[in-house]
A and B are shown apart, each in its own frame.
Chain A
Amino acid sequence: MFKKIAIVAGLALALSVTAEAQTPRKGGTIRMTAPYGSSFSSMDIHTTQRAQDEIFAKGLHRSLYTWNSADGKPVLELAKEDIVSGGGLVHTFKLRDDAYFHHGRRMTADDIIWSYNRIMDGTKAYPGARFVRVIEGAAAVEKGQAKEISGLKKIDDFTLEMKLTEKVDPGFYFFNAITSIYPADEGAKESFIQKPIGLGPFKFVEHVPGSRVVLERWDRFYKSGKPYADKLIVSLMSEAAARDVAFRNKEIDTSVLGPAQYVAYQADPGLKGTIAEVPEVFTRYMGMNPGYKPFADKRVRQAINHAIDTDLIISKLVKGKAYRATSWLPLTSPVYDKSMKPYAFDPAKAKALLADAGYPTGFEFEWTTSQNESWGLPIVEAIIPMLDRVGIKVKVKQVETAVLAETIRKGDFQAYVYSQATGPDPQAALKCFHSSTPQSACNYWNFKNAEFDKMVDEAGQTDDAAKRVQLLQKANALLYEEAPVWFFNYNKAVMAVQPWLKGIQLNATELTHQNVEDLWVDETSPAK
């Protein structure tokens, strides 16, 4: 499924795909941009889960797994083999014996154990703890009841046994940069934050706060012949208009495009060929609080889905830079059911459903939103008259994105609009709706449905892959029927890529996150 989408979505990259058949050129400089702010949070990647920071971290660090964009799944990175036993709970990793840290020491199982123990340090607040907690004994370390994670056992320098608490694919838990492997001897030093050392294809050269991170090729990288480029520069560029000028001026090799620029680039014959796009694993939606009486009724929630002309909003306001959502799981989810159809725009049906639910004249609710151009205030303002047509009045409450995140987590809303990661692990994405998931974790809608719980639980237990897919698809369909949210869209991530930069991967988890060792620049690049 993912391959098909990637092929369609990557048509614009046809030229570069052809060029990739050429022999990759050694040397040159790759100039990427970090568009989500004017600074990086930290050089200690264990402390930050922001997409912005992972852009440079993909060059500097490596985790046990990495994301394979072509297949749409996590694959082993620092291990050559994973032998599963113990009913799917015990994983024995045969680690690479050719992975060297940037200070020259070879990675061993001790480094992985040290890194995961660090992340679980209960006196600190490393966001990766939510992933490492799946290892048996990790929670005890977090609570200060143990010094080391009991579920991690070093068999020898290059064999690591990992015992999990749940039968899950550890790839989904250990591919992000927040679980990067640090050198045990260096990671604890104060100087590490100033000059980080990793296992990635590029080593640290400099960080000019508020400007850029510069990395250079690590010659002892374990993938033979890689990386191709000599240098990787990640420049901070949060202003879209400035990025546009810099891209046209050939000063940068990649630029993330917003809706307005997406339209402009498509219309420009000179730039159209530079567009790379992929459906990302993010779902935009309006969450409804069942604690607010009208939203407790399924018919009201369905009415809202019918009352909004979602396709019109996607085409006119989001400028086609999104895919219509049919339910919770996104297009690039491995269990996405393409036979599902979205709610039809049908105000008459919406009115009928409202009448059935006891709201023939409608009702009023407060809608909390950020200013985001793709899923915030402009969208809400466009929807207000649509809901008004069926009798629903909206009172807008505008907040900053950081405040919105807190508002949602606390359940302090009647309705809100948001963009949320709904992958890559479909099991984890659906588990947010499980009745055992607290609202403060990710069940923001206080969704409780015994049938849904049963399907998700069974999917987690079964060894039959086909059955698992079937159960998760059914659970996703049940969400469609229950409509705890207004299903808006799946984000279409769009990046402009200069024609001389080859090897861009259509990464559905975050397009800016590239396995940079696979990128190369041809001789037409102006950066030498």
Chain B
Amino acid sequence: MLSFAIRRILQTVPTVLAVVLVIFVLFSVVPGSIVSSMNDDGRGPADAQVMERMKKQLGLDDPVYIRFGSYIAKLATGDFGTSFRTREPVTTMIAKRMWPTLQLIFASMIFAIVIGVPLGFVAALRPGSFVDTISMVVAVSGLSMAKFWLGLLLMYLFALKLGWLPSFGYGDGSLKYLILPAVTLGVSPMALLARTTRAAVLEIMTADFVRTARSKGMSETRVVKWHVMRNALVLILTTIGLQFGALMGQAVVVEKLFSWPGIGSLLVDSVLQRDIPAVQGSILVVVLFFLTINTLIDLLYGVIDPRIRYA
């Protein structure tokens, strides 16, 4: 198990290095800079002297290879650099935004798992029934709906019409502020989980070992509990893992809509204002999160199905 874990972790290193390189190159060639963005609201003529000084101060005039070398050297020590905008260390900025994003993602995933997995199970156990049809309509709708639109609908209904929840903001970080953004973000993985669970369970229900179990006289409850669920779990877990990682990226829209102070909204503003260290740091954190979750899921496979770790 340990060697499997070490092997899996080492496999992520080239991915991280490739991502670092791609992000750096991309934002080196993309037009615009923090200096030009200073004046993008047209409030006053750009001061040429200040702009030149800012370029020099931020090292924007240095050749790309020098900037890359300096970036990598800092990164190796865990230093993500200093934000061009706030003049704060990027690690500090990300640390402040990390918890709200994690809150949002975990809440969304809990919502998705608690609703999606049972929905898929119920649908699969009664294929073609009314419950199955309704479950799949919900799932397809959840997958098709744009998050921005769904978020607005939820705001309108639960904040404006019913007055149950606040429509925006982080407040004191309490649950009532979290519910609407979490549901908005969680609907899509919930739908996907429902469909995946249904498909996985349906396939396993017709497998030979399930038929054997039934023919041995095992009760349907025991068949589902000991054979179907356990085997369906590998596919469900894969979906959960992929969705967990992907949610970090999808959170951008939801955070912006609900004024949620996470990594996503930091990333959007940093891209628009060309705050390159903040962009690089934010994307790197998203990628690391994705890889960590996937590595953990891979390790969990080994627990659920011991054949995988020796594969």
Chain A residue nearest to B166 (CB atoms) is: A251
B167 touches A251 (CB 8 A): yes
B41 contacts partner chain A, Cβ-Cβ < 8 Å: yes
B265 contacts partner chain A, Cβ-Cβ < 8 Å: yes
B174 contacts partner chain A, Cβ-Cβ < 8 Å: no
B151, B256, B265, B272: the one within 8 Å of A402 (CB): B272
B170 contacts partner chain A, Cβ-Cβ < 8 Å: yes
Q: Give the shortest distance, in Å, between A303 (CB) and chain B (any CB).
A: 26
Task: Write the B28-57 contact mask toward A (1 if CB under 8 angstroms, else 0).
Answer: 000111011111111111111111011001
A193 touches B265 (CB 8 A): no
Known contacts A51-B43, A235-B169; is-contact A38 B32 (Cβ 8 Å): no
Chain B residue nearest to A239 (CB atoms) is: B257
B168 touches A237 (CB 8 A): yes
Q: Give the shortest distance, in Å, between A94 (CB) and chain B (any CB).
A: 29
Q: Within residues 329 to 386 of chain A, which ones have a CB less than 8 A from any CB in chain B?
A: none
Q: Give the shortest distance, in Å, between B53 (CB) and chain A (any CB).
A: 4
Known contacts A47-B87, A124-B57, A442-B45; is-contact A401 B261 (Cβ 8 Å): no
Known contacts A251-B167, A399-B31; is-contact A242 B152 (Cβ 8 Å): yes
Q: Within residues 255 to 294 of chain A, which ones have a CB less than 8 A from any CB in chain B?
A: 282
B37 touches A405 (CB 8 A): yes
Known contacts A209-B97, A282-B42; is-contact A193 B155 (Cβ 8 Å): no
A245 touches B152 (CB 8 A): yes
A400 contacts partner chain B, Cβ-Cβ < 8 Å: yes
Known contacts A402-B32, A402-B40, A402-B272; is-contact A211 B49 (Cβ 8 Å): no
A402 touches B273 (CB 8 A): yes
B50 touches A193 (CB 8 A): no
Q: Within residues 381 to 417 of chain A, which ones have a CB less than 8 A from any CB in chain B?
A: 399-406, 409
Give the CA-CA distance A210 to B260 in the complex, in Å: 7
Give the CA-CA distance A401 to B31 in the complex, in Å: 11
B38 touches A49 (CB 8 A): yes
B31 touches A441 (CB 8 A): no
A210, A212, A442: the one within 8 Å of B265 (CB): A210
A38 touches B168 (CB 8 A): no
B88 touches A193 (CB 8 A): yes
B86 contacts partner chain A, Cβ-Cβ < 8 Å: yes
Which chain B residues border A495 with CB–CB below 8 Å? Answer: none
Task: Write the A15-59 contact mask toward B (1 if CB under 8 angstroms, else 0).
Answer: 000000000000000000000111101111001111110000000
B256 touches A239 (CB 8 A): yes
A406 touches B33 (CB 8 A): yes
A188 contacts partner chain B, Cβ-Cβ < 8 Å: no
B49 touches A127 (CB 8 A): no
Which chain A residues border B100 with CB–CB below 8 Å? Answer: 210
A418 contacts partner chain B, Cβ-Cβ < 8 Å: yes
Chain B residue nearest to A401 (CB atoms) is: B40
B87, B151, B155: the one within 8 Å of A42 (CB): B87
Which chain B residues border A44 with CB–CB below 8 Å? Answer: 87
Q: Give the shortest distance, in Å, between B183 (CB) and chain A (any CB).
A: 15
Most buried by A among B100, B163, B169, B256: B169
Which chain A residues border B48 with CB–CB below 8 Å? Answer: 438, 440-441
Known contacts A42-B86, A242-B259, A403-B32; is-contact A209 B53 (Cβ 8 Å): no
Q: Within residues 436 to 453 of chain A, which ones have a CB less than 8 A from any CB in chain B?
A: 438, 440-442
B220 contacts partner chain A, Cβ-Cβ < 8 Å: no
B53 touches A125 (CB 8 A): yes
Give the CA-CA distance A66 to B86 in the complex, in Å: 25
A38, A52, A130, A419: the one within 8 Å of B42 (CB): A419
B266 contacts partner chain A, Cβ-Cβ < 8 Å: yes
Q: Give the shortest distance, in Å, between B40 (CB) and chain A (any CB).
A: 4
Which chain B residues border A246 with CB–CB below 8 Å? Answer: 159, 167-168
Known contacts A42-B86, A129-B50; is-contact A49 B43 (Cβ 8 Å): yes
A460 contacts partner chain B, Cβ-Cβ < 8 Å: no
Q: Give the shortest distance, in Å, between A388 (CB) and chain B (any CB).
A: 28
Give the CA-CA distance A193 to B169 in the complex, in Å: 23
Most buried by A among B37, B160, B167, B265: B167
Which chain A residues border B256 with CB–CB below 8 Å? Answer: 38, 238-239
B33, B46, B159, B259: the one within 8 Å of A38 (CB): B259
B262 touches A235 (CB 8 A): no
Task: Write the B181-195 contact mask toward A (1 if CB under 8 angstroms, else 0).
Answer: 000000000000000
Which chain B residues border A241 with CB–CB below 8 Å? Answer: 152, 257
A122 contacts partner chain B, Cβ-Cβ < 8 Å: yes
A409 touches B46 (CB 8 A): yes
A68 contacts partner chain B, Cβ-Cβ < 8 Å: no
Give the CA-CA distance A210 to B255 in the complex, in Å: 9
Known contacts A50-B41, A210-B261; is-contact A37 B266 (Cβ 8 Å): no
Chain A residue nearest to B274 (CB atoms) is: A402
Which chain A residues border B46 with CB–CB below 8 Å? Answer: 405, 409, 440-442
Give the CA-CA distance A48 to B50 in the complex, in Å: 12
A248 contacts partner chain B, Cβ-Cβ < 8 Å: yes
Which chain A residues border B50 with CB–CB below 8 Å? Answer: 125-127, 129-130
B85 touches A42 (CB 8 A): yes
B106 contacts partner chain A, Cβ-Cβ < 8 Å: no
Which chain B residues border A405 with CB–CB below 8 Å? Answer: 32, 36-37, 39-40, 42, 46
Known contacts A245-B155, A406-B31; is-contact A130 B44 (Cβ 8 Å): yes
Q: Give the shortest distance, in Å, between B118 (CB) and chain A (any CB).
A: 31
B80 contacts partner chain A, Cβ-Cβ < 8 Å: no
Q: Within residues 78 to 119 of chain B, which ones have a CB less than 8 A from any CB in chain A?
A: 85-88, 93, 96-97, 100
Known contacts A237-B259, A403-B31; is-contact A129 B167 (Cβ 8 Å): no
Which chain B residues border A36 with CB–CB below 8 Å? Answer: 41
A123 contacts partner chain B, Cβ-Cβ < 8 Å: yes
Give the CA-CA distance A124 to B262 in the complex, in Å: 30
A interface, CB within 8 angstroms of B: 36-39, 41-44, 47-52, 122-127, 129-130, 142, 193, 208-212, 235-239, 241-242, 245-246, 248-249, 251, 282, 399-406, 409, 418-421, 432, 438, 440-442, 510
23 A-B pairs with CB atoms under 8 Å apart are: A49-B43, A51-B41, A52-B41, A125-B57, A130-B47, A209-B93, A210-B100, A210-B170, A211-B261, A212-B170, A235-B168, A237-B168, A242-B258, A245-B152, A246-B167, A249-B163, A251-B166, A402-B274, A406-B31, A421-B42, A441-B45, A441-B46, A442-B45
Q: A39-B269, A49-B39 are in contact. List 20 more A-B contacts (CB 8 A).
A: A36-B41, A41-B273, A42-B85, A44-B87, A49-B38, A50-B43, A123-B53, A129-B49, A210-B100, A210-B259, A211-B259, A211-B261, A236-B261, A242-B168, A242-B259, A245-B160, A282-B42, A404-B40, A405-B40, A441-B45
When A and B form their complex, which 10 residue pairs have the shortest distance between CB atoms, in order from nearest?
A210-B261, A442-B45, A406-B36, A125-B54, A402-B37, A130-B47, A38-B265, A211-B261, A403-B32, A402-B32
